[in-house]
Amino acid sequence: MTQSLNEEGQTAPLTRKVKLATVDPSSERSMEIDEEERLAIMRLLDLRDLSNARLDYRLRQTSGKRVHLTGRLRADVVQTCVVTLEPIPAQIDIPVDVEFWPPEKIDALQQRAEDPSQAAVIDWPEPIDGDAIDLGPLVYETLATALDPYPKKTGAQFQWSDAKDPVEMPKNNPFAVLKGLKKS
């Protein structure tokens, strides 16, 4: 497995290069993660478990040297309940629809996006790296955004209790002075 560096100089948890020369719109492909990648993703996403992670996808080349990916990301995850700290199992099953563009076209899109007269909602494309696309970051980011940010066990409620007695305000605080002015 070849690992690339992200913008912060950290090693990416998942890298999977697909050569553009192998793009065949008539074939469906699958991508699974290995044990090392699984452990790295679990650590980064604070998961108790990650299993059966799989991207089933189809690629097709479009105009302007672009590549369009459609597919489904599936995984079984176990997160930690934010209230009880118990395990919360969940199944991820979401569609994936992404375009990969040459870097120069992304640069032109960036310039257009910075122009206020061209403002619009843009589903940002992923970059083509030379003669390949990297599906690893796409899988990792899609999985990360599909997770519940605050997983909570059904029926779990947080009960706040403060062991300290309520603090009484000193008599010479600004509010006490204002209260005294109101009485006059």
Helix axes 135-146, 35-45, angle to 10 degrees: 40
Confidence category of residue 4, pLDDT binned at 50, 70, 90? very low
* pLDDT, tens only, 122-152: 578 899 998 999 999 999 999 999 999 999 9
Q: Which residue has the higher pLDDT, 138 or 108?
A: 138
Domain boundaries, the chain: 17-183
Task: In whole angstroms, give the CA distance from residue 147 to residue 142.
Answer: 9
Q: Look up the pTM and report it.
A: 0.74
* pLDDT, tens only, 40-98: 999 999 999 999 999 999 999 998 889 999 999 999 999 999 999 999 999 999 999 99
Q: Is the pLDDT of residue 36 over 70?
A: yes
